[in-house]
Structure 1
Amino acid sequence: MANERYYLDAVLSTEDDAITIINQHKEVIFWNDAAIQTYNIKRNEIIDRQITDFFHDDDLMALNVLETKKPVQGTYHRPRRDKHVVVNASPIFTDDGELIGAISAERDITHVVKLNDSLLTTSTALNELRQKVYTTNTEENPFSRLKGNSLPLQQMIQIASKAAKTDATTLVLGESGTGKEICARAIHEASPRKNGPFIPVNCGAIPEALFESELFGYEGGAFTGAEKKGKTGKIEMANGGTLFLDEVGELPLDMQVKLLRVLQENIIYKVGSSSGKPVNVRFIAATNQNLEQQMQEKQFRSDLFYRLNVIQITMPPLRQRINDVVELAKLFLKQFAVQYEVPLPTLEQDAVEALFQHHWPGNVRELRNLIERVIILSEKSVIKKQDILAFFHNTSTPNTVQEIESNHSLVQEKEDIEKKRIEEALQQNNGNKSAAAKILGISRVTLYSKMRKYGIRD
């Protein structure tokens, strides 16, 4: 038994961790070789001395254990600014439960921490470099997202690229599904405002009563139900960047006047506020409607049209760039094959010819939706003409009287259902056409057109 102390000293001295034992008076009674190397304090300098002469009360885990009487396991600790350790520490009790000291074993991980910091710094630098490479490769020309090499598309891109270098208000015209918003985003990202916000607003999706508060924002308590802190409008959100007004032909006439004022003065007036706020916003508007005809019908202000129409860009319909169809179809095939985790199918030549022969009233959006249906519903590795035709809507031409009559009855049934739905929506909203159009998922202009078609009175 007399030799147990020597055995214990040998074991603790052999340990790679820094071992410290203190008594209940905070005096050091054991300090091994690893502790000497870790803290550069010689044994004869610290033994029988108060540990607080060398460390602050909060800098040594053994002191905390001595006070709490509770052990700690695998705890990260930093006893000095230049040291990082992982600590196991325990209180020491006699058989009678008397606390007589504490022991701590501290593993020096300073080198690991510094290595990790270095790795983190390197990784951050690498990510920044990757981002620069990505930016250089993919965003040097934002118009590269408008896929196709046809002459009409390239002529459009050339005009849009020139528009991007300026702050000129731009009007993007084109049928539904031609990519007007993609073009607007590309103009923004190729402009000096690319680091500012790009805020899209679908004018056909905002109820008429909410237009002003959505575009201009409002002050707190401006009306019943208003947020106490007020609300920032879309125009202010686009400050320093670009506001994209999609379906601008849907703007109510009173809002057209207020938008014109912003374009002229670069000042917005929130609902409930009498003081204006300057804004620095570039406006891009888009529509698939004939604004000149709307001006003749007094549905669109001519002064606003000329303000918006500084630079006019017309998106070519897909039928005018039919040579781009195959490139787009193959691009969408790859995208959706990855998205839905299916093997990439190939297009047979007769399938390509079917794509060429289609009129594409829905333009690129229609093509994209068609390819998505093909990927989801077809399990074939090779897509043929009959597969393409099967996924088109209303592609077959009736050849017999029975087929013609059948198709006519289906059309009539569809129209009857559509008329009933419009009447129900109007009745539910007490004749409010904006609210009815929103429920039906169509624009107000489309609703007016269908009301005239079915003879539905205002």
Structure 2
Amino acid sequence: MSDDLFYHLKAVLKAEDDAITIINNQRMVLFWNDAAVQTYNISQSEITNNRITDFFHSDDLMVLEVLKTKEAVNNVYHRPREDKHVVVNASPIYDDEDNIIGAVSVERDITQIVKLNDNLETTSAELNELKQKIYATESSSPFSKLAGRSISLKQTVQIAQKAANTEATTLILGESGTGKEVCARAIHEASPRKDAPFIPVNCGAIPEALFESELFGYEGGSFTGAEKKGKAGKIEMADGGTLFLDEVGELPLEMQVKLLRVLQENNIYRIGDSTGRKVNVRFIAATNQNLVQLMEDKQFRTDLFYRLNVIQLTMPPLRERIDDIPKLTSLFLKQFAEKYQVPEPKLDDEAFQILLQYDWPGNVRELRNMMERLIILSEKTIIEKHDLHNLFPNMKVTEKSSRAEVSSTLPAEKESIEKQLIKETLVQTNGNKSDAARRLGISRVTLYSKLKRYKIEV
């Protein structure tokens, strides 16, 4: 080999990023490039012409294994030291007579990659554990039953969560099927009274003649047909817990007077009882009627309204939270597929458009019932538009409700999404503009400008 070629090869080996080691059959180091120096922190002058086993344990060296077995290795993970991770290629070296005279190894240092991967695995495990905790918290939260991510629902849930931490009477307004009782139960289950009874009373389902005995109970023998031992009423049954008065607008005026007395004095009188008994009850009422109009018509007492209306919630109708329809649909399909032991079907895009365009007069209850009927009657794995028309022939859709027509251009769609995102972020930060701007990744000046542009009130 000419001297020029030798120096060229030496320059190539010197420029190589991977650690290159050449040993003879006596385990003496003949070549140790600069990358090897950096990888193992052993200088060339220290190791060259010395036994490699003076610096490494023989069991830790792949190059010695190759020298021993005379078999090359390619892209093998190796750990020559406790603190080093490498990928090694190694080969035996033969002379012209096919005698082994040494071995060469090329080792790529992947220590940092391994450490990063270990950190990533650790972080991923911690993140997964945290997600599981969050999921468990969310799924075990009473308010998780109010499924949805729409701003209107989130605002209602936020107020409900605050109400749960108090003893204040609460009035829940909303159309039929919007989930007023679900909300009332969530408030109870998230309150300090969660281990005590939650007693629901449907005021619209009780005959007027039975209202007093149902709510207040009676003493034994107080009227014909009464049980000898008497009977506790719903209010007494809820002692220590929560009484939920659904459709409170249906209460007869006479019962409104007696209910007001309970709210004022925390004392009830069974039919036939003149002494009364103390009760500790939290009242939650709900109605789909206009109580203000009922008060004007002298059908609902003003003083009772103000007693019940300490905290007021409004359950939004489903047509105002169409963003929640996909999640609710999926939730109900899964729930009823499990209940009836059938495969869970999927709705195609056109079928989903029908659900988004429908006005939902029966709200979430109607959607739930519809998905149950679909699971029972349909055997298809993919539900299409015509399947919905066949199963629900009375389902009339309104084209103007279609989300696709809300924003007909890309800029308008972008503005709509941006406005929605700003609103959601402000809800999450409880109206804190500085925090909202930080989360959105914009300056406060830009946020104020967008609030003004989109006419968002905080």
TM bucket, shorter chain: 0.5 to 0.7
In the alignment, structure 1 residue 201 sits paired with structure 2 residue 206: no
Aligned to 2:290: 290
Aligned partner of residue 152 in structure 2, secondary structure: helix
Letter in 2 for 1:364: V
Offset of 1:136 from its aligned partner? 5.8
Aligned to 1:167: 167
Distance 1:291 1:370, change over 3 A: same
Separation in 2 of the partners of 1:179 and 1:319? Answer: 14
Offset of 1:135 from its aligned partner? 12
Distance 1:134 1:209, change over 3 A: farther
Offset of 1:391 from its aligned partner? 2.7
Distance 1:228 1:139, change over 3 A: farther
Letter in 2 for 1:368: R
> RMSD between aligned alpha carbons?
1.9
In the alignment, structure 1 residue 305 sits paired with structure 2 residue 302: no
Separation in 1 of the partners of 2:264 and 2:349? Answer: 55
Mapping of residues 212-223 of structure 1, within 5 Å: 212-223=212-223
Separation in 2 of the partners of 1:253 and 1:393? Answer: 42
Aligned to 1:277: 277
Letter in 1 for 2:299: Q
Aligned to 1:176: 176
Aligned to 1:211: 211
Aligned to 2:231: 231
TM-score for the superposition, normalised by structure 1: 0.56
Offset of 1:276 from its aligned partner? 1.2
Aligned partner of residue 312 in structure 2, secondary structure: strand
Separation in 2 of the partners of 1:235 and 1:299? Answer: 23
Offset of 1:257 from its aligned partner? 0.2
Separation in 2 of the partners of 1:175 and 1:330? Answer: 23
Separation in 2 of the partners of 1:180 and 1:147? Answer: 13
Contact 2:358 2:396 in 1 (8 A): no
Aligned partner of residue 285 in structure 1, secondary structure: strand
Separation in 1 of the partners of 2:320 and 2:264? Answer: 37
Separation in 2 of the partners of 1:234 and 1:296? Answer: 29
Aligned to 2:158: 158
Contact 1:203 1:246 in 2 (8 A): yes
Distance 1:372 1:169, change over 3 A: same
Aligned to 1:314: 314
Letter in 1 for 2:154: Q
TM-score for the superposition, normalised by structure 2: 0.56
Structure 1, unaligned runs of 5 or more: 1-132, 398-458
Aligned partner of residue 223 in structure 1, secondary structure: coil
Separation in 2 of the partners of 1:265 and 1:144? Answer: 35
Separation in 2 of the partners of 1:373 and 1:200? Answer: 27
Aligned partner of residue 258 in structure 2, secondary structure: helix
Contact 1:354 1:389 in 2 (8 A): no
Aligned to 2:12: none
Contact 2:165 2:192 in 1 (8 A): yes
Offset of 1:379 from its aligned partner? 1.0
Distance 1:213 1:134, change over 3 A: farther
Contact 1:370 1:391 in 2 (8 A): no
Aligned to 2:352: 352
Letter in 2 for 1:291: L
Separation in 1 of the partners of 2:282 and 2:139? Answer: 20
Offset of 1:389 from its aligned partner? 2.4
Letter in 2 for 1:171: L
Offset of 1:134 from its aligned partner? 12
Aligned to 1:336: 336
Separation in 2 of the partners of 1:283 and 1:309? Answer: 10
Letter in 2 for 1:145: K
Letter in 2 for 1:187: I
Offset of 1:390 from its aligned partner? 2.4
Task: State the identity %.
Answer: 71
Separation in 2 of the partners of 1:190 and 1:342? Answer: 34
Offset of 1:266 from its aligned partner? 0.3
Separation in 1 of the partners of 2:286 and 2:163? Answer: 14
Letter in 2 for 1:298: K
Q: For residues 226-283 of structure 1, what are the alpha-carbon distances to aligned partners after superposition, in whole Å with 9 as ceiling and x for unaligned?
A: 0000001100100000000001011000000000000000000000010010100000
Q: For residues 80-134 of structure 1, what are the alpha-carbon distances to aligned partners after superposition, in whole Å with 9 as ceiling and x for unaligned?
A: xxxxxxxxxxxxxxxxxxxxxxxxxxxxxxxxxxxxxxxxxxxxxxxxxxxxx99
Count, aligned residues: 266
Separation in 1 of the partners of 2:396 and 2:176? Answer: 23
Separation in 1 of the partners of 2:138 and 2:319? Answer: 28
Letter in 2 for 1:310: V
Mapping of residues 303-452 of structure 1, within 5 Å: 303-395=303-395
Aligned to 1:192: 192
Structure 2, unaligned runs of 5 or more: 1-132, 398-458
Q: For residues 162-199 of structure 1, what are the alpha-carbon distances to aligned partners after superposition, in whole Å with 9 as ceiling and x for unaligned?
A: 00000000000000000000000000011111111100
Contact 1:222 1:271 in 2 (8 A): yes
Distance 1:379 1:135, change over 3 A: closer
